[in-house]
Structure 1
Amino acid sequence: MPGVNPVEALYLDHHAWLRGWINRRLDNRSEAADLAHDAFVSVIKAGQAADIREPRPFLATIAQRLLAHRHRRHVLEAAYLEALAALPEALAPSPEERLLALEALQQIDRALDGLPAPVREAFLLAQFEGLTYDQIAQRLQVSASSVKQYLTRANRQCLFALPA
């Protein structure tokens, strides 16, 4: 389309298709519209719209990542709420504290995203189960020195992800 920038052309040609593709997986039109929007925001941020050769597979890959993030966020939230439900009422955090804790967990999840699975798992075992290097090494079937490297990498990732 002459006079149309690459992002606009991509959006006009594929937005309805992507929204439908996501909706078939979620069966939720509102969330599908939000995730389709987020996919195009990702394309805009990357600044590479003109280089996309196969738009639909490219957009589907972005959407699959967004669906995976959504699923992980829901699993994380459910696990947190389950842990809260197990607390005696006197120890239960306020709604504001719950929201802050959930946001912190989501921030950690985003920070760990992209790290290899053993690195993420070592971090979670250390932070949430309180396991020692040797216990983590045994669980992951690696050496304690590997666990130390994993935790250093994960901690560095979390540190750099903190807002300035």
Structure 2
Amino acid sequence: MALRRYVARKVPAGDVDDLLQDVFLNLAKSQPQTSIGNLSAYVFRIASNLVLARGRQQRWQSYPDDAALEVPDHTAFPPDRILASQEELRAVMQDIMGLPRRTRDVFLLHRFEDMTYTEIAQHFDISLSAVEKHMIKALRLLSRAASTR
């Protein structure tokens, strides 16, 4: 995956998966004011911003606070479950990115940007019926992809 290679060149190997998870978390929480013309570029921009923020944070942290000295409890989730979840997330994102462009955009705006069908129809200047058809198509294709895994 190109995003993984990009991040791997920018951060230590142990931080790659954490940063990728942060990228997808930010993507899921993002609410851009305009439509995302190039989703791939948008995702890479999120990754770049997170890499820069991580670098700034590490430079300014000269003295750890008490919370940083605490060792997190990694026994809550076994490593195999974490790995399986990361692989599933990658597969789902790959499935989403493989949707036809307009269908993908409609799906992302509804599911990740919390836009209503009416708002999406107005945004793309298409009918409400077209939005519904794109969502049905997206859900059908994603369901089919998930069932073949």
TM-score (norm: length of structure 2): 0.44
Highest RCO, 1 vs 2 (Cα 8 Å, sep ≥ 6): 2
TM-score (norm: length of structure 1): 0.41
Higher helix share: 1
Task: Give 1 or 2 for the bigger CA radius of gyration.
Answer: 1
